[in-house]
Structures are given as C-alpha cells and as structure tokens.
A and B are shown apart, each in its own frame.
Chain A
Amino acid sequence: MGNGQGPRHRGRDRGARAPRSEPKVLVLPGDEIPDRGLQPGFGTYRVGRRLFASVMGYATWREPFVRIVPFAGRYVPKPHDVIVGVVQDVQKTFWLLDIDASRWAPLHVSGTPWEPAPGELEQYLRVGDAVLVAVENLDPTGKIGVTMQGEDLGKLSGGTLVSISPAKIPRVIGKGGSMIHTITRLTGTRVAVGQNGRIWVEGPADGIQRVRECLRIIEEEGQRSGLTERIEGFLEMTGPTDETGPRAPGPEPVDRNEPRRFDDEAPSSTDDPAPADRPTIPPNENNEGEGPWEA
C-alpha cells in the first residue's frame, strides 16, 4: 500500500466538534460505507469515489467527518492528550517513555521544570518512574513529542497503575466526569486518567482493588447499556471504605473549572437510547468538563 496510486488511508481527524445525530453501525475492515457527503476520517479509506472501513468498530457520521470508533488498537496519540508514561531509558538530554502506543515517546529536558546538566537526568527521573505528561506534537516521521510542563503534570509517586483499552477511557470518565467521580467518591481514592488507557490510582488498598474491579467491568461490559447502574451497584454492595490512609505526594488536582482535556471527538456513550434522547457532547466553551485528575 505504499505507492501514491493506492487508496489513501485517513489516519487523523482535524476539525470542529458538533452534536452527534446518527445511530452507530458495526463495520469490519473492507466494508463499504456511505459517506453522506462527509469527509473521510479515522479508520476509513477511499478507492475512487467509494469509501471503505479499515478497522473493526462503529461507523459514525458526525459533521464534518465520517469515521470509525475502533473496538481495539493501541493508543493513538493526539495533541493535548494527558497520558501516563513509564521511563524506559535515560539519555543525555531526554528520557524515553513507554506510553502503550506503537512507539516510545521522548521527554526532553526542555519539556520539564528542571534544568539538569547533560548526564544528570537520572537524578530527576529514573528507569521505572511513572509520569503524567501531555502530548505536545506529532511529527510526520512518527515521533511523539511530550511535555511535563503543565500545572498538574509531573512524576507520580505512590499508588499504582491499572491498564485498560484506550477505547474505553471515555466510558471511564463518563459524561462530564460523572463515572470517574462516582468511582473515586465511593472508594476513597485519587486517580489520574491517561488517555492512553493507563490510570494511576492511589488510596487505601481495598479502595484500589475496588477501582480495579470497576475498570474491569467497564472494559468487559462497556458497550452494553446500564453500565452506570452496574458500577454503582457493585460499589454499594462492596461497601464504602472507612480507611483514609496516608496520601502520597503527587501533583495537585486540577482546578475543576478548567476546560476538559480529553478527546472531544470520542463518543460520550455507547448505550442504546434512541437518537432523540442521547445527550450531545458539550463543546469546550461550556467548562463543564473535568481534567484528568479526579479525587
């Protein structure tokens, strides 16, 4: 598929968000999709005037794009995504982070609040350290630039990491952060949700276990309806924790009034309500969203 004459595959969207108004349709690679006059987005490709799916998922038609919301796939970085990385290597002027994507991401010294001399980077971040960073840029050769400059970014201490499929992150957060707020409130934990499917959880041991179980439920049953009830039911059944435990030091929670940072183009719900009942995704200006932090 490398030559200029083959069908062009669209890997990335650019464009405004708008309320969704169409039901989703399951597609498999090779399925032809009607474009309804929209531009090809993620997971589609053109052959002449016809449009086809390249991944398995739900086809969605939302101006100005027709795109596929994939069921699977490694995390695909987008600028401004906040993600959790783990240091794999320390070089003279940068660290290499595993971010559960198709490539490792370099974190350059200039992208941190520190000013170590070359060769002294180990004193700030070591192999095995977990960090919260933001995707800054993606260059055409595939390099993923990340930065730690940002109010709530930094090294993560204490707690642990739980991984789920990146496709499920919107469900973990929920509409306006409702799902993750319910989970942390009823478990007495603090979390940082990475768009790359990695979630940092901190708090009492049994609280962390219950968060882990909630995430497992979301991952396995996320596409069915009634998810919120399932989660609330589970949390109520397993009881609130009465331990508070010491809190580990870490970056401060974000100001609640900051605009949401996660992908606005992801669907807010995969439940089955009829189109008329389905709430629309609020645009950025409404300031209703939560940042990656939730406590």
Chain B
Amino acid sequence: MSEVVTAEIQTTHIIDLARSGHRLDGRGIDEWRPVTVEPGYVKSADGSALVHVGATVVLCGVKLEIGKPFPDTPNAGVLTTNAELIALSSPTFEPGPPQPEAIELSRVVDRSIRAAETIDLTQLCVTPGEKCWTCFVDIHCLDHSGNLIDAAQLAALGALTHATMPAKRFGVGERDYPLDVKHFPIECTFVRLGDKIVVDPTFEEETAGQGRLTVATDEAGNVVAMQKGKIGAFSPGEVVETVERAFRHGDRLRNLVRGT
C-alpha cells in the first residue's frame, strides 16, 4: 500500500504549533512519550523485549546459535541485526522483502550496538576459526506511531540485556548463562519542525518533519553513532546542541532498560 498524501494544511499546522513550542499531543519540544520495556516477552527467543513508546510498539527477539566465524575474524562471533517493518504495523508498509526504510533502520540500530561494543564479540568465539556463537537480533515493528528507530533500538538493547546463552542445548557448556552485555548505547531521534528540533517524533511529526537526526550515546559519555535522515538540514551548532540533549535522554532511558 503506498503512502497516502497528507493534507498540506495539517503539515503547516504542526510546524506553526512548533514555532510557539507546542506539539499536537501537548508535549514539550524536549519531552518523550511514556516508554515501557518488557523483557522476556517471547519464550521461544533467548532474549526478548517488547517496547512501547507512546502508541508505537516494537518487539525484538534475540536468538543465539552455533555457527562458523567469518574467515577474516576467526576469533570473533557473529552479530547480525534485521528489522522487519511489517505491513501489519502501518498502512504505509507493503508486504515483501525489506524496503530502504527497513534496511536503514536495521543498520542504524546495528551500528549503535556494534560501535558501543555492547557485546564483546571475541567472547562469542568457541573454537577459533571453526565454531562461534551467532547472535541474531530480529526486530519486528507491530504498531507504527513514529520514532521506530529509537523504539527498535530500545527493544534490541532490552533483549540483549536479558538474554541467556543456550550453551547446554548446543552442547558447548554444562549450563546456560546470561549473555554478557558490557555497554548500553541508547539512540535518540529528533526531527526539525520549522526552527524547532523536537525529540521522539510521532508519525504525523515525522511526515511533517524537515530533517531527522538520530544520535546514539553510551553510559561512558561517548557518542557512538549518528544518522541524519529525511529531506532537510542541520547546522553544526544544532548538531552539538542535539547531541547534548541526546545524552540527557539516553541516561534516563538507559535506567529503564537496565532497571527491569
């Protein structure tokens, strides 16, 4: 189903509201919607988390299997991230293989996890050059009400943080043990509405948005990944200011993911 064109007056209205610091749902420019992270939602996965960001719902399942390491990294395990923007979750998604939006989302979430060294991939090595753990991070969008990137990344981190290595089942250990998560990157997405840059955009705000910026930060004060999307531009000063905001939100959201 292709995108239905939104009325221009709606887009103009959203931008006008932002000009005076208001948003359609009454939030402030720097305010997130309510977020919940429910780990262990899916028992068939080795780790999972169901995340709600306002009305947006994303589910992530982590599965760990024994496989072969890549030839150029014989001492490391494999991490692979895949996001499905399924047609069930929005009238704007079509069934079929991942479209550019899904591919970008997969890669942006993957980048934050990898760059922050969330998992030490060498710890996933079993026998160098022969056997290693492959960690599959599968993200399933269930209800698209905006800001899928952040919701997906929270779900991925939530799933990893509460994952168990199925060592016994694969015969590489006596007992199962928790996946060792070393760092906790959190992504935070903003869109431009006129001269304001608002955090955690809803679907309508994304449609009206004139540029999107995602910033991933870790618990040690590092910026670990960034991605600019949509049609629009940001000044370097705006980028610096946005990164600062991303740290504040990241700290708060990190507690939510870890605390459960």
Contacts and interface: CB of A to CB of B under 8 A. Distances in A.
Contacts of B10: 160-161
B5 A130 contact: no
A69 B68 CA distance: 61
A209 interface: yes
B180 interface: no
Given A205-B20, A205-B22, A209-B26, A159 B13 contact: yes
Given A159-B13, A205-B16, A128 B4 contact: no
Given A88-B4, A205-B16, A205-B20, A157 B26 contact: no
30 contacts: A86-B4, A86-B7, A87-B5, A88-B4, A88-B5, A98-B4, A98-B5, A127-B5, A128-B5, A128-B7, A128-B8, A128-B11, A129-B8, A130-B9, A157-B9, A158-B9, A159-B13, A160-B7, A160-B9, A160-B12, A161-B7, A161-B9, A161-B10, A205-B16, A205-B17, A205-B20, A208-B13, A209-B22, A209-B26, A212-B24
Chain B: interface residue count, which band?
10 to 19
A282 B11 CA distance: 39
A278 to B, nearest CB: 36
Contact of A86 (B5, B13, B17, B24): B5
B145 to A, nearest CB: 14
Interface string A116-160: 000000000001111000000000000000000000000011111
B13 A160 contact: yes
Given A98-B5, A128-B11, A205-B16, 17 more contacts: A86-B4, A86-B6, A87-B5, A88-B4, A127-B5, A128-B8, A129-B7, A130-B7, A130-B8, A156-B9, A157-B9, A159-B9, A160-B7, A160-B10, A205-B20, A209-B26, A212-B24
Contacts of B12: 160
Interface string B1-43: 0001111111111001100101010100000000000000000
A87 B16 CA distance: 22
Nearest to A201: B13
Interface string A199-224: 00000010011001000000000000
A159 B9 CA distance: 6
A130 B10 CA distance: 9
A262 B6 CA distance: 25
A128 B6 contact: yes
B22 to A, nearest CB: 7
Nearest to B14: A160
A75 B226 CA distance: 43
A209 B26 CA distance: 9
B20 to A, nearest CB: 7
Q: Quick one: which of A127, A160, A161 has the most chain B CB within 10 A?
A: A160
Q: Quick one: which of B4, B6, B13, B20 has the most chain A CB within 10 A?
A: B13
Contacts of A160: 7, 9-10, 12-13
Interface string A62-94: 000000000000000000000000111000000
B245 to A, nearest CB: 24
A159 B6 CA distance: 14
